[in-house]
Chain A
Amino acid sequence: MSTIPATQLTTAPQDTRRTLIEVRDLKVEFNIRGGVVKAVDGLTLDIKCGQTVGIIGESGCGKSVTARAILRMVPKPGKITGGQILYYRVPRQKKLAGSNEVEVIELTKLDPDGEVIRQIRGGEIAMIFQEPMSSLTPVYTAGTHIHEAVSLHRLLPLKTVGDQMVERITQYRKVTREEAREIAVQMLRRVGIPKPEQRVDSYPHQLSGGQRQRVMIAIALSTEPDMLIADEPTTALDVSIEAQILDIMRELQQTANMAIMFITHNLGVIASMADEIVVMYMGKQVERAKVVDLFYNPKHPYTKALLQSVPKLGPKTGQRLASIEGMVPDPLHLPTGCVFHPRCPAFIAGKCDRHVPNWVQVGDNHWVRCLLYEE
């Protein structure tokens, strides 16, 4: 693995809160007819082990593209045109051997179909998608799906015959069909699917939407990944099922110290899930803060507007729900200056439409991109 030039070995102290993913100034562009769409423009964030980072924004703001960029799965004609995504990796074999040697892999430099990224995809960084209805291949059973992931990524120690203590087991083998099935049943049970011994042989069309999303989570977690990317995992589900799915994710995260990147446009969901939130608008991150800061002390006018558009219970009940003025701009012809200025209630003429705001720190781990907070 170390033959790949994008890889270098460093050592880090064991830390359950170590950084796992670091995105620096990421740019993703789609070269389509009529011009270039900057789907992600200058995104910077980091995700630590055991932490949940929420990414929130309207549809089309670049949050799904960001997730796919991490896995090097940006669909054509999209391209990563700038920035870095660093992955602080403890390879599976070393981890099993008890080592904490961290390799830094620059994901943005990997071959998107290469060996390394394929080990990471599904094995170390798993992803679940928005459409549970169509994210399972219709002709394969739930068990087959799990088997596929497990047989690729789960390694079991190869028993060596000997009477002395083996301190480091250096060889591993892939799981067998029977073991994979066992794992599949276990996983289905863990995500709360009734009668998992039977359901493991069910085809997707025999499962309900909620069950399918549970299966998706079971597939993703069956490989014991270090990070889970959840791209609007509950958007297509009923509210009651949504709550169950979120519970499962929270519970599994705690037991496995897994990082989660949680993408949604639902503020209520994100408040209950995330430790830290990134707000995106038209490909740019406009604010980043701890969840409490963001909800109680939002800085960016867009974030404020978003929060006001959430229905609330309390003293102000009875008022009309606020909405954000104006329309999402044409991504091919973004406004000059701050992209939010045509819709911004705090718009300053001659300033916001001329100057591009910088990413400035306004508090402890609280960043914002707005001219109101610049000198």
Chain B
Amino acid sequence: MLNYLIRRLGYALIMVVLVSFVSFVIIELPPGDYLTQKVEQLRARGDRSAELQVEMLRVRYGLDKPFLERYLNWAINFLRGDFGESFEFERPVSDILGARLGYTVILALATTLFTWLLAIPLGVYSAVRQYSIGDQIISVISFIGLGMPGFLLALIILYFSIVVFNLEVTGLFSPEYRDAPWSVGKVLDLLSHLWVPALISAITGTGGLIRIMRGNLLDTLGQPFVEAARARGLKNRTVIWKHAVRIAINPLVTILGAEVFPSIIVGSSLVAIVLNLPTIGPVFVDSLRKLDMYLAGTCIVFLTIMLLVGNLVADLLLAWVDPRIRLE
């Protein structure tokens, strides 16, 4: 167990290092990004203060240093909490992302919760009542869920809320709470807004997860230990939940880390763009469009770290639910 933990943790750390490296490559990749543009503009002015500014930028970003050194410089600063400067906003990246990071995590967690609360009962029902009307309906819905990327669903919901109901579903807060300090009221307001994007982002993942749960459970229901459990005189419900579902859910935990969580992070970022939520997603896209690369790179690192943490949590969860891994 300890071995397993250390291995997973080590793996995650190595990934973080690699990911940060790739992110830095991405930061440096686009020709004509903000930094180069700015330096060129300043050089073109050619006056004394401009020279000084160029000099400052040169030192801060190590423009004359080799690539590897620049990366190390950036990485060390990153660890210190200095993520560089957003050229578009002319503010430190940490200022811009600060609060958004928290909302991104909250949104991802809420979405994960919805996904599981929807997918597992529906998947179980679908498998237990295979070929029933309910199963067929769930199959169709999960098909549509599979085919319904969150951002398009968000668009459709936006359409109905604006055109048909004349409602506001964008944002995470009502106007009166947007800049208010934290209070019970603000938390409740957040929750009353949060469920819309969370549910929308959840729909996509749910479709696939229902299918997987159904398939796994059908496989498991054919296993001898299920028949053996039934032969012990257990209630049908106990056989299904305590024996079959309990086993069928194990691979789902892995899928949660490897597939569901990533798609939730991506999906909720796109939904956040449509619904204009104060999460990382909209800032990230904006920064890419404007080639504000330090902001964009930091966003990628954070999104990826979220993913890796999600993976790690799924690994731990798997060890917790599966003695075959725990006792290895």
Contact with A along B244-268 (1 / 0, CB 8 A): 0011001000000000000000000
Chain A nearest CB from B64 CB (Å) reads: 60
Cα–Cα distance between A55 and B225 once the two chains are bound (Å): 23
Q: Number of B interface residues at 8 Å Cβ cutoff, please give it.
A: 22
Q: Number of A interface residues at 8 Å Cβ cutoff, please give it.
A: 31
A258 contacts chain B at the CB level, 8 A cutoff: no
Q: Which of B224, B231, B235, B323 contacts A134 (CB 8 A)?
A: B224
CB-CB nearest in chain B for A153: B233
Cα–Cα distance between A119 and B234 once the two chains are bound (Å): 9
Residues of B within 8 A of A130 (CB): 224
Cα–Cα distance between A251 and B236 once the two chains are bound (Å): 33
B167 contacts chain A at the CB level, 8 A cutoff: no
Given contacts A203-B323, A206-B327, contact A122 B231 (CB under 8 A): yes
Chain B nearest CB from A252 CB (Å) reads: 17
Contact with A along B171-190 (1 / 0, CB 8 A): 00000000000000000000
Given contacts A203-B323, A203-B327, A206-B327, contact A137 B225 (CB under 8 A): yes
Given contacts A73-B231, A129-B224, A134-B225, contact A113 B236 (CB under 8 A): yes
Contact with B along A71-93 (1 / 0, CB 8 A): 10101000000000000000000
Please tell me if the beta carbons of B231 and A127 are within 8 angstroms of each other in the complex.
yes
CB-CB nearest in chain A for B226: A137
Q: Which of B224, B247, B324 contacts A203 (CB 8 A)?
A: B324
Q: Which of B227, B228, B236, B247 contacts A138 (CB 8 A)?
A: B247
A120 contacts chain B at the CB level, 8 A cutoff: yes
B243 contacts chain A at the CB level, 8 A cutoff: yes
**SS class, residues of chain B in contact with chain A:** helix
A366 contacts chain B at the CB level, 8 A cutoff: no
Please tell me if the beta carbons of A136 and B225 are within 8 angstroms of each other in the complex.
yes
Cα–Cα distance between A123 and B234 once the two chains are bound (Å): 10
Please tell me if the beta carbons of A137 and B247 are within 8 angstroms of each other in the complex.
yes
B289 contacts chain A at the CB level, 8 A cutoff: no
Tell me the chain B residues, 198-238 only, with Cβ under 8 Å from chain A: 223-225, 227-236
Please tell me if the beta carbons of A135 and B224 are within 8 angstroms of each other in the complex.
yes
Cα–Cα distance between A138 and B324 once the two chains are bound (Å): 8
Cα–Cα distance between A145 and B243 once the two chains are bound (Å): 11
Q: Which of A113, A118, A135 contacts B228 (CB 8 A)?
A: A135
Q: Which of B224, B229, B231, B247 contacts A139 (CB 8 A)?
A: B247
Please tell me if the beta carbons of A121 and B232 are within 8 angstroms of each other in the complex.
yes
Tell me the chain A residues, 128-185 only, with Cβ under 8 Å from chain B: 129-131, 134-139, 145, 148-149, 152-153
A18 contacts chain B at the CB level, 8 A cutoff: no
B322 contacts chain A at the CB level, 8 A cutoff: yes
Q: Which of B228, B233, B250 contacts A120 (CB 8 A)?
A: B233
Tell me the chain B residues, 20-73 only, with Cβ under 8 Å from chain A: none
B321 contacts chain A at the CB level, 8 A cutoff: yes
CB-CB nearest in chain A for B228: A135
Please tell me if the beta carbons of B225 and A152 are within 8 angstroms of each other in the complex.
no
Q: Which of B227, B236, B246, B250 contacts A129 (CB 8 A)?
A: B227
Cα–Cα distance between A298 and B259 once the two chains are bound (Å): 62
CB-CB nearest in chain A for B231: A127
Given contacts A113-B236, A129-B224, contact A139 B230 (CB under 8 A): no
Given contacts A73-B227, A131-B224, contact A118 B246 (CB under 8 A): no
Please tell me if the beta carbons of B247 and A73 are within 8 angstroms of each other in the complex.
no
CB-CB nearest in chain B for A112: B236
Residues of A within 8 A of B225 (CB): 134-138
Given contacts A137-B246, A138-B324, A139-B322, contact A123 B233 (CB under 8 A): yes
Residues of A within 8 A of B227 (CB): 73, 75, 129, 135
A205 contacts chain B at the CB level, 8 A cutoff: yes
Chain B nearest CB from A187 CB (Å) reads: 14
Residues of A within 8 A of B229 (CB): 137, 148
Please tell me if the beta carbons of B321 and A148 are within 8 angstroms of each other in the complex.
no
Instruction: State the A residues within 8 Å of B (CB).
Output: 71, 73, 75, 113, 118-123, 126-127, 129-131, 134-139, 145, 148-149, 152-153, 203, 205-206, 216, 219
Q: List 29 A-B contacts (CB under 8 A).
A: A73-B231, A75-B227, A113-B235, A118-B233, A120-B233, A121-B233, A122-B231, A122-B234, A123-B233, A127-B228, A129-B227, A130-B224, A134-B223, A134-B225, A136-B225, A137-B225, A138-B322, A138-B324, A139-B247, A139-B323, A152-B233, A152-B234, A153-B233, A203-B323, A203-B324, A203-B327, A205-B324, A205-B327, A216-B228
Instruction: State the B residues within 8 Å of A (CB).
Output: 223-225, 227-236, 243, 246-247, 250, 321-324, 327
* A-B residue pairs, 5 tightest by C-beta: A122-B233, A122-B232, A121-B233, A127-B231, A135-B228
